[in-house]
Amino acid sequence: SLIEWHIAQGTHGIVPMGTTGESATLDTDEHLAVIKRTIEIVAGRVPVVAGTGSNATREAIHQTQEAHSAGADACLSVTPYYNKPTQEGLFLHYQAIVKAVDLPLLLYNVPGRTACDMLADTVARLSELDRVIGIKEATGDLERGNEIRSLCGESFAIYSGDDATSCDLMLDGANGAISVTANVAPGKMSEFANAAVAGDRSTAKNLDTELQGLHQNLFLEANPIPVKWALSEIGRIDPGIRLPMTTLSAEYHEALRDAMRQAGVLN
């Protein structure tokens, strides 16, 4: 039902098994089942970019192979978390994946969650490999995005992974956003992204102002705690989240409701 809602609302692509999909608390069989079911339901109507990253290179290869077999259009592969690999280790990790699997790969850099920052020079090295087509850049650092664009060229796709700064990154030439906010306000996020990517600054900024409350308050506690609560609040999913995550603390409920009202998703 969420997929059908997103497609009806104008979402441009579906990313199963990212952080917001609780990928960290699903076992491998569940992880792959979600990807396969998503591909079945989408049925080619929009691209499916499967989250297949891991802090173990062999597991990342296995999950990417399975996503490829299931018919994913591309994969999203987060930097190995906890291990703290070197920049050379990051290069070799992704090189191994694209050598093993004939599937377009989006890099994913989110050092606030992984304790691992893939620097622009490393991204530039990886951009020269076949099948490395772009990056989800979630540092929130606009200069980093501009540096990647300068080093990698216009053909290398850049997607914002930080909703709060996604407007400026897209207006600076990024190709879109892989968004937390879009899970709650897909129609408005689609309209916003269309305007920002087209360079319509006025429309993009006005819509971004309406969405900023969600951009901020969906991180009152660790993602995906607030977004799961918000979706249950509007009747899109049942309440609940897997341990060790817990449901949103009551002290934050009204602030998130206010942000949802501001974005037009709650009366």
**Whole-number pLDDT of residue 224:** 98
Rounded (5°) CA angle 247-253-255: 135
Decide: 107 and 123 in contact? Cβ < 8 Å.
Answer: yes
pLDDT digits 0-9 by tens, 83-100: 999 999 999 999 999 999
**Whole-number pLDDT of residue 265:** 97
Q: Which of 81, 84, 99, 136 is catalytic?
A: 136
Rounded (5°) CA angle 265-213-168: 110
In whole angstroms, what is the distance from residue 226 CA to residue 257 CA?
11
Tell me the pTM: 0.96
Peptide bond into 224 cis (omega under 30): yes
What H or E segment, with its residue span, contains residue 258?
helix 253-262
Q: Which of 108, 159, 188, 228 is catalytic?
A: 108
Residue 254, both tokens: 């009204």
Residue 36 annotated as catalytic? no
How many helices (H) and strands (E) in the chain? 12, 6
Decide: 49 and 76 in contact? Cβ < 8 Å.
Answer: yes
pLDDT digits 0-9 by tens, 190-249: 999 999 999 999 999 999 999 999 999 999 999 999 999 999 999 999 999 999 999 999
Rounded (5°) CA angle 65-18-167: 125
In whole angstroms, what is the distance from residue 200 CA to residue 206 CA?
10
What H or E segment, with its residue span, contains residue 105?
strand 105-109
pLDDT digits 0-9 by tens, 25-76: 999 999 999 999 999 999 999 999 999 999 999 999 999 999 999 999 999 9
Residue 108 annotated as catalytic? yes
